[in-house]
Structure 1
């Protein structure tokens, strides 16, 4: 049995080479850029009015004469007619200012009499209310750097400079196999000896948090042939997650089934609570995680191990870790790392009740996992502990 640090190191050493794919902007939402993006045009692509008003040459105006309105430019239109001294053009926000103009006076700061206007803005200067061409980004300029997270705003920004597709780090394909003779679907009528199956639902929801839809989800009986068949069918995925059947009981058939399917065991069992019977292996490029069947152990192991492997594919950080003061004293025996459900407060983190691995009621309201080091036994109020946020 190995410790948590050793387990994470072995998993990291077996993570695969990064893959890059080309996606449309909407498909790439939430992904990480695999290469920098350079602007293909100036943005704005022309000198642009920032207001509804009147465009004119401030430089050639004598600062007192009325100006003659000679035309109008609606947003989306363009005029190449040169505007002379003491002439103005009615213009709207976003429209290109015409040749011969350098300033826009707001429509609220003029008085109009027929086809002439008088400017009433004493603070007007050359260039007021004009967005210069390329003032946001210039052609050839780096718009976004490599490893930038593509947020909705970043996607809007790229669309606005004429980018339609981007190269991003690929998400892994993930398959789920849940084992157990005792499992019943939520819409089944439950009978003696059965429990409702929840592990697949929790894992699917957690993967959705990361923007991943599993390619396959299967629930199988504790029958070796069925387990082997399910495993063999899913060894083309990047990540295979199994739950249940990994301990030492007569019907804990998963480790042997994995071996028969050609999976190379990297380790089996970690000095941790919950999730001690954790199994990790590899089949060619497929990473295999076999987790204990208890629901709290499944979700704890997903957050601490599986999600971090997914991060190595996508290059995106999930479930951030931080040091935070403990709200109350806590004692445990040495020899195991504890991952306990917690709740963050303004100044400290609290260990919740009902920490047993079969219970989810405290996990359902938790917002973090609190890590208690393997060899340390006594933790005092105010001690800094590692906390992994799970929301």
Structure 2
């Protein structure tokens, strides 16, 4: 018998919790970025921390009994590295007082190489409680960094990587492939050099041109060439080959990690684990609902300063939608979808709902289905979006 939404909710609450804090502050806007972030708002930073704490207190009162002791905290943006270490220490301590915290939690801070000028600065972040860093390198080619409107150059990126090694801390590197007009040789040159530095983790994204960004406008107006799908496919295959030969596990479509260094926080997004997002523009998946805080910094600060709930939009998902999300998000992972896990959550075998789709995708060579799992094939990884769309009802 298919599980009811109440039964599913009880199982969902037992899967843990991750916390995300959004910092929508930037010194300048990157040409490809469509995340909610603002420039020229540095004078609001101290008020923003107070507002985050207020939302955290409200969230603790509402959810801590249902979702105690989160296992990960992630500080993203925007540019959270514009804030000082004491701010993050305060938030971490407030998480402990509101929710508790699992033993040995993963606590990640996104950093821009332009904001780190010394080893001592990184050391202070570590002393504040950060035990994992996500470094936005994007490229080691200075012309490409200019195209992306990044504030740092390749020299600064290399220096910060050396600081991270000296600190002996877990760190990930972000890299973007398939820029307009980019040659595979240039992208692979950056990748091969970064591999030599042995970061614990790589997040590698093929550029998505989002409407409203400067790069989208430039390509649409013919000022830059369109991104080549052929080059994109070549880059993907070569990335996997290079990183696997260097000892990295390709555990998710865009993610590679040395053994033992998969991102626990990012994995929660793909593994149907509840997460709570705080800050304007932050997203949550909590109580089987999708929630987005409205992208309005001033309103967020004003409401939270009065201990009023920030404005947000709730999308109450029905079981059919939840099954669909479990499928296409789970397929992003190398481990694929565990059929037993699907049955435990939804009370029916996966073939009852998706048997025909699974058979068709398997016939096309895009997925492999065994008695235990469903996962993308190598060919399926190249056409992943086509596979995901098949499971969206």
Give the TM-score, by structure 2 length.
0.25
Structure (1 or 2) with the greater strand fraction: 1
TM-score (normalised: structure 1): 0.25
